[in-house]
Amino acid sequence: MPPTFEDGLTRCAWVTAAPDYRHYHDTEWGMPLGTDTALFERISLEGFQAGLSWLTILRKREAFRAAFAGFDMDRLARFDNTDVERLLQDASIVRHRGKIDAVLNNAHRAIALREEAGSLAAFLWRYAPPETLPTTPVRATCPESVALSKALKSRGWKFVGPTTLYALMQATGMVNDHAADCAYRNAVHAARTAFTRPGAGNAPRPA
């Protein structure tokens, strides 16, 4: 059963008492994102999270933004070996060469996808799962995250496994996985209902 906090509100079971984690759950998690930069940031941070806690990444998010040019894909595509070495010396971020290289590689791949699909956001949102109640326990993947992982990997993306991409879907409003009795589920549902999907109507849903 989701926990009830001192404010009397019931939240998802994964939420802790840490104020910044609770604020993230209450104001960001599940709210739909529709811009290329916001989605590229999130997919990059999900990649950095692999093997770590999301709270660790969340507390370093501003440092990541500063280090990675605000996750602007065009600026990142111009990073060179000097930038990589600078990032590896930056103690305010996660200094993992493979993950750093993946962000820079994926910036190039995202630009190519923008040419292919009109925007990175339009491509990613094609794979949004249908609206359902969250499972118990919450699933780690779905058929759409598996399909998206395959599509991105075939285009040269790195650190984009099905679990990472399902976490992306949960965080960016492609699916509403707030618990059925979470106080914030309805707010996310309303935001998703009002949201216009990028590229809506421009491409069929993947099989």
pLDDT tens sequence across 26-55: 999 999 999 999 999 999 999 999 999 999
Catalytic annotation on 125? Answer: no
Are 108 and 77 within 8 A, CB to CB? yes
Catalytic annotation on 127? Answer: no
pLDDT tens sequence across 73-83: 999 999 999 99
pLDDT tens sequence across 181-200: 999 999 999 999 999 999 85
Give the integer Cα–Cα distance in Å for 78 and 184: 40
Binding site, annotated residues for Zn(2+)? 12, 25, 178, 182
| Radius of gyration for the chain, computed over Cα atoms and rounded to the nearest angstrom | 17
Give the integer Cα–Cα distance in Å for 135 and 121: 26
- Residue whose entry in the numeric block shows the structure tokens 């599940």: 30
Are 93 and 87 within 8 A, CB to CB? yes
Q: Which candidate in 21, 29, 41, 46 is catalytic?
A: 46
> Which region holds residue 147: left if phi is over 0, alpha if psi is between -120 and 50, else beta?
alpha
Q: Which of 188, 198, 195 is nearest to 28 (CA)?
A: 188
Binding site, annotated residues? 12, 25, 178, 182
DSSP state of 183: T
Are 64 and 93 within 8 A, CB to CB? yes
Q: Which of 128, 126, 147, 151 is nearest to 201 (CA)?
A: 126
CATH superfamily for domain 35-175:
Hypothetical protein; domain 2 (1.10.340.30)
Catalytic annotation on 29? Answer: no
Instruction: Work out the mean pLDDT of the chain and round it to a whole number.
Output: 93
pLDDT tens sequence across 65-111: 999 999 999 999 999 999 999 999 999 999 999 999 999 999 999 99
